[in-house]
Amino acid sequence: MIRSTLALTGLALGALVLQGTLAALLPPALTPDLALLVALVAAVVAPALPALLLAAGLGFGADLLSGTLLGEQALLRLLAFAATRFVSSQFHLERGIPLASYCLAIGLLDPLGLAALSRLFSGASPVGWESLPTVAVRALLGAALAGGVHRIVGGALSLQDGDARRREVRFDTRRPVL
Amino acid sequence: MRDFLIRLRLPLLFATLVLLTLISMLADRRALVNLARERSFGDALIEVTVPVQKALLWPFHFTRGTWSRYVSLVGLKQENERLLARVAELEEQNLQYAEAIVASGHLQEIAEMRAGFDVPLHSAQVVGHDVSPWFRSVLIDRGRSYEVRSGMPVVTDRGLVGLVTATSSHAARVMLLLDRQSAVDGMVQRSRARGIVRGTGTGQLEFTFMVRGDDVQPGDEVITSGVGGAHPKGIRVGHVLEVHSDETQLLHTATLQPAVDFGRLEQVFVMLHRGPTMDLLYGGDGDLPDATAAREGAP
């Protein structure tokens, strides 16, 4: 458990640093929101408590490294976590196409949420109509990268101790028995 | 009871975190308005990410620097001859202007203005960009230990870059002019027409002004007016690309091309200066840097 938590923390920090570095080199539309992807995928594949803390940590981290108000992206990540857990309980988000579709949808909704929160708390929205192509391209990019991020987060989670892994074996009642 | 609490652990934690985000947003909004966004608790993350981002970006900066220093200097001789001719032309013009100023008796005023402009500058490197593409801010590698404070203007040799909005011990965040939340009181250098320069979130700026005749024309230089106290007067902001005139509107707008190339921002200078308005916002906490100490170098 400790190893996987450490791995997830390292992954979150790496995602933020890599995203900041890519932002300096690539145009905004081609800079993937890696922090959001890691939070979404972790909400699907990781246990609830670490995934919740990871979402909050990634959100606050992004707030510290961004022009947003402290807590703005954290709130969005927490809402994304809750939505993901709910959708994940209804559908098999672990699979490639559902996960990519879900990341695409959240990638489109997240900037709208940011715009609404900024308008509410700061009086000015950072996302205007002219940003829609950027929003769309970033969401598509996120969907394309979702599978890769899923593998990386899954790899980090597989570092957990054997005992813990055995404890988490359970029957998945959503899947058909046959 | 214990089982009940364990079952509620996750929803309770979720609700607590949501509440925490709302409180921190309100508190940060208040701090932003008061320009008192010195975040000690965020230091650790910024202190870790800044050197890592600096190291990751080093190969790109090195390649770009090598290219601009050596490879792109092929036409240097012709360029040098052209520039020498241009310098001679400008020196001649300068002499004429100096003569005109002396003749009009304004030389003393100009000298005073220059003295007022003479604030200590701290060189800083841009080491990180905003992780969100919807905000335009950068991280620089100078913070409170170099006397950098929120509310200080940041410039390059080309013109105004933005304003420091948050600091940690060894880094600071600068909101660029391009950010939609950025607003600077500016004026047209030629006609002295005043207005507000706002960021649009794109690569250009918007200048809102009240029209009196043909006060603003394409090609006009826009500088800071000094009104509002955030920026010293006379820093280049950009030049007018296009004027959008609608006679039915009282306020007109013009599109500005920023003087600074924000796509190639590497080295910037923090002006260790806060205007009187900023001092009023801070009250009497006296954390303005001592200019002499700042000139002598930071720790």
pLDDT on residue B73: 65
Q: Between A18, A56, A67, which is nearest B137 by CB?
A: A67
Give the C-alpha separation, B240 to A68, whole Å. Answer: 29
Q: Evaluate if residue B96 carries a pLDDT over 50.
A: yes
* Residue of A25, A37, A66, A110 best to disrupt the B interface, most CBs of B under 10 A: A66
At residue B153, what are phi and psi to the nearest 5 degrees? -75, 150
pLDDT score recorded for residue B231: 80
What are residue B174's DSSP bridge partners? Answer: B138, B164
Task: Give the model confidence (pLDDT) of B239-251 as tens digits.
Answer: 888 888 777 777 7
Does the distance separating the beta carbons of A124 and B180 come in below 8 Å?
Answer: yes
Give dist(CA A108, CA B224) in Å, integer. Answer: 38
Pick from B281, B277, B270: nearest CA to B145: B270
Q: How far is CA B220 from CA B37, B162, B187, B199, B215, in A?
A: 35, 21, 10, 18, 9
pLDDT in tens, B195-206: 889 888 778 888
- Positions in chain A whose pLDDT score sits under 50: 163, 166, 169, 171, 175-178
Is the Cβ pair A67, B175 closer than 8 Å?
yes
Q: What is the amino acid identity at position B197?
A: V
What's the predicted TM-score (pTM) here?
0.66
Residue B289: closest CA among B158, B148, B192, B91: B148
B20: which chain A residues are within 8 Å (Cβ-Cβ)? 71, 74
B53·A126 Cβ contact <8 A: no
Give the mean pLDDT of B268-279: 72
Mutate to test the interface with A, among B131, B167, B178 (most CBs of A within 10 A): B131
Cβ of A74 within 8 Å of Cβ of B175? The answer is: no
Nearest to B39 by CA among B161, B149, B146: B149
Predicted local distance difference test score (pLDDT) of residue B292: 39
Nearest to A24 among B48, B129, B135 (CB): B129
Q: Which helix (H) or strand (E) holds A106?
A: helix A96-121
Amino acid (1-letter code) at residue B140 = I
CA distance A46 to A57: 15
Q: Are A125 and B22 within 8 A, CB to CB?
A: no
Closest approach of B51 to chain A, Cα-based (Å): 10
The answer to whether the Cβ–Cβ distance between A70 and B28 falls below 8 Å is yes
- The answer to whether the CB atoms of A75 and B25 lie below 8 A apart is yes
Burial status of residue B204 (CB atoms within 10 A of its CB: 0-12, 13-18, 19 or more): middle
